């Protein structure tokens, strides 16, 4: 007969033996948590890699577009200068800068700088129905030496004008001397 007045302390109670099946119950949970953690890490690494590849690919396309726009404007300037003598060195400071056309696009801005030894003309173009922007600078020396620099952008001119710290675009330049 048990004495209910004085309960047996826990450390004196007989414990039932634990079967091997009962001991492994928490082990499966631990293995599954570790497995899921490893899979999550792989998934995050692969998604990060995929995102970086997408950014790199779009940057390459933008860079290629900027190069083609710069090349087109460079060809127009070389043709205008060498065939039509469009940027001929003036004897005195002209009132306005010559504004050339390129591929059906007229320069949206034309600036000039003149001295007795140097004549510099800058033109800006909206190319491809204002999808891209291009700048061209033609510098002529009184001796006849010419330098042409074309800068192409993969964005509209309004984006280039207001470019801030968070604006991302590609630009490529080409230079020719003769």
Tell me the three-class secondary structure of 60-97, residue by residue.
HHHHHHHHHHHHHHHHHHHHHHHCCCCCCCCCCCCCCC
pLDDT digits (tens, 9 = 90+) for 6-43: 676 666 666 666 666 655 567 788 889 999 999 999 99
> Would you state the pLDDT for residue 23?
57
Residues with pLDDT less than 70, the chain: 1-4, 6, 8-25, 163-165
> Would you state the pLDDT for residue 162?
81
Name the β-bridge partners of 105: 102
The span from the first CA to the last CA of the chain, in angstroms, equals: 118
d(CA 123, CA 5): 105
> Would you state the pLDDT for residue 77?
94
pLDDT digits (tens, 9 = 90+) for 86-98: 998 998 999 998 8
> Would you state the pLDDT for residue 65?
93
Q: Which two tokens stand for residue 99?
A: 């504004």
d(CA 49, CA 52): 5
Residue 56 gets the label, from left (phi > 0), alpha (psi -120 to 50) or beta, of alpha
């Amino acid at each position: 007969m048990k004495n209910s007045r004085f309960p047996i302390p826990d450390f004196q109670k007989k414990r039932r033996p634990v079967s091997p099946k009962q001991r492994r119950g928490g082990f499966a949970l631990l293995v599954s948590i570790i497995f899921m953690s490893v899979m999550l890490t792989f998934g995050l690494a692969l998604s990060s890699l995929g995102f970086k590849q997408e950014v790199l690919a779009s940057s390459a396309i933008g860079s290629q577009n900027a190069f083609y726009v710069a090349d087109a404007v460079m060809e127009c300037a070389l043709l205008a200068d060498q065939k039509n003598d469009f940027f001929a060195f003036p004897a005195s400071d002209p009132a306005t800068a010559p504004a050339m056309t390129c591929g059906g696009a007229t320069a949206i801005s034309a600036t000039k700088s003149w001295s007795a030894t140097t004549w510099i003309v800058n033109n800006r173009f909206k190319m491809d129905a204002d999808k891209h922007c291009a700048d061209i600078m033609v510098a002529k020396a009184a001796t006849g030496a010419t330098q042409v620099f074309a800068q192409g952008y993969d964005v509209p001119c309004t984006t280039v004008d207001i470019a801030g710290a968070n604006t991302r675009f590609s630009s490529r330049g080409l230079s020719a001397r003769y």
